[in-house]
């Protein structure tokens, strides 16, 4: 495992104390009500966590991609829904950081870093999930504006976002080379939220369908160049997949800790179930897989900072391994608790439901395998 330096250890300690005091006591309620935790968003905002991916020159406190991963890991240890507040804030900002102009970065960076504007990442459509070339949302240049029509689905933060990094076709004949990126504000006429999704897990993170009807977007809000949107979108996912891996690691850490605590307290046949070899070895397997995923995740986070040529490969590897591990560990943790694990008064079933989405968003794990194999075979 990558050894954290003193500053990173201090940062983890600060976030962990906050999570123990503020997030953990709210986790079950957030899942039960399905309401966005505005109070925790304010806490994260006060700690500067909303600006972890925004460089200082644009109003943030970026010190390295690992810091973002560490924050998300620690929050997810108690509540995955709450960790998405920090994760999605970075996700929506990254296309602007990667392809945007200096004017765009200076305008939106302070809003994102301060938490005054919540962001979202608008790529997925009903008919264009893994296949971005099937995108139907279109943007047509008209004078000093673009007119956008279409819709996006399964957008994290979509129903509450102030700013959306939106991807639309400016030339459908070119496939993915005809996709362009735009900065869209929720006040633009023609922007609407058509649906709030009801989900199996991450219930406190709003997910919705966005609709654009003759929405006018200033031409100055084009991100980078026309036709480069797919590149910006994929580079964004290279940065965000290690964050999902960190989220998976945090969730698994929390599940393992809960399982250990339960196994020490639950007595059967005259002794704690942790004393039975079958149970202790089960915990050992969970821990070993968790530590391996954590090491891979930290490595991938480091590669984002140095623009390592294997960044795409390692980003996909970390997301694949960590999310599969999280699902397995969460399921095993529930099994440790037996019938009690299936009850909503314990956190195990919530953790298992939350773990499943990590295998799906930011590219399904089947897509991660395609990316990994493509990178392998291209060398």
Asked if residue 52 belongs to a domain, the reply is: yes
Q: Which of 255, 234, 250 shows the shortest CA–CA distance to 315?
A: 234
pLDDT given at position 307: 82
Asked if residue 365 belongs to a domain, the reply is: yes
Mean pLDDT calculated for residue range 130-134:
90
- Pick the catalytic residue: 291, 345, 362, 375? 362
Q: Is the domain of 271 the same as that of 212?
A: no
- C-alpha 71/C-alpha 87 separation (Å) is 9
Q: Per-residue pLDDT for 10 more than 50?
A: yes
For residue 312, what is the domain's CATH number?
1.20.140.10
Helix or strand holding residue 14 (H, E): helix 6-18
| 1 band by pLDDT with thresholds 50, 70 and 90 | very low
Structural domains of the chain, count: 3
Mean pLDDT calculated for residue range 342-355:
97
Mean pLDDT calculated for residue range 93-110:
98
362 flagged as catalytic = yes
Q: Are strands 145-156 and 138-142 parallel, antiparallel or unpaired?
A: antiparallel
- Summarize pLDDT for 250-305 with one digit per residue, the tens: 999 999 999 999 999 999 999 999 999 999 999 999 999 999 999 999 999 999 99
Q: What is the DSSP letter of 3?
A: P
**8 Å CB contact between 137 and 179:** no
Q: Which of 114, 141, 157 is the last residue of a domain?
A: 114
Do you know the residue count of the chain? Answer: 379
Strand partners, 369: none
Asked if residue 285 belongs to a domain, the reply is: yes
Percentage of the chain beyond pLDDT 70 is 99
- Summarize pLDDT for 306-338 with one digit per residue, the tens: 888 999 999 999 999 999 999 999 999 999 999
Domain span at residue 55?
A: 6-114
pLDDT given at position 336: 98
Q: Is the domain of 296 the same as that of 172?
A: no
Asked if residue 1 belongs to a domain, the reply is: no
Q: Per-residue pLDDT for 379 more than 90?
A: no
The residue behind tokens 């391994």 is 321
Burial of 190 (0-12, 13-18, 19+ CB in 10 A): middle
| 2 band by pLDDT with thresholds 50, 70 and 90 | low
Q: 5: which 2 tokens?
A: 């330096």
């Amino acid at each position: 495992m990558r050894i954290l330096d003193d500053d990173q250890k201090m940062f983890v300690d600060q976030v962990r104390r906050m999570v123990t005091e503020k997030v953990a006591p709210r986790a079950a309620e957030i899942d039960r009500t399905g309401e966005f935790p505005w109070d925790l968003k304010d806490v994260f905002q006060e700690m500067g966590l909303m600006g972890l991916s925004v460089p200082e020159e644009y109003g943030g406190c970026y010190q390295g991609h690992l810091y973002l991963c560490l924050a998300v890991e620690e929050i997810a240890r108690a509540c995955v829904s709450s960790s998405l507040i920090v994760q999605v804030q970075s996700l929506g900002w990254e296309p602007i950081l990667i392809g945007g102009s200096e004017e765009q970065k200076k305008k939106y960076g302070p809003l994102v870093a301060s938490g005054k504007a919540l962001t979202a990442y608008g790529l997925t459509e009903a008919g264009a999930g893994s296949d971005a070339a099937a995108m139907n949302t279109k943007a047509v240049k008209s004078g000093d504006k673009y007119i956008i029509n279409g819709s996006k689905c399964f957008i994290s933060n979509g129903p509450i976002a102030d700013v959306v990094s939106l991807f639309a076709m400016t030339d459908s004949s070119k496939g993915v080379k005809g996709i362009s990126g735009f900065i869209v504000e929720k006040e633009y006429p023609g922007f609407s939220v058509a649906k709030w999704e009801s989900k199996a897990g991450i219930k406190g993170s709003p997910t919705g369908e966005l609709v654009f009807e003759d929405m006018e977007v200033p031409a100055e809000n084009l991100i980078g160049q026309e036709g480069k949107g797919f590149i910006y979108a994929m580079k964004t996912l290279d940065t965000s997949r290690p964050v999902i891996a960190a989220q998976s690691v945090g969730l698994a850490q929390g599940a393992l800790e809960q399982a250990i605590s339960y196994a020490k307290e639950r007595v059967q046949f005259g002794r704690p179930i942790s004393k039975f070899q079958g149970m202790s070895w089960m915990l050992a397997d969970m821990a070993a897989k968790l530590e391996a995923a954590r090491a891979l995740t930290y490595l991938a986070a480091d590669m984002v900072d140095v623009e390592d040529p294997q960044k795409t490969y390692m980003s996909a590897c970390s997301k694949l391994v960590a999310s599969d591990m999280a699902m397995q560990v969460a399921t095993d943790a529930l099994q440790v608790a037996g019938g009690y694990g299936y009850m909503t008064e314990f956190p195990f079933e919530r953790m298992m439901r939350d773990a499943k989405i990590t295998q799906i968003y930011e590219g399904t794990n089947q897509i991660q395998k395609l990316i990994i194999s493509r990178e392998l075979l291209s060398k």
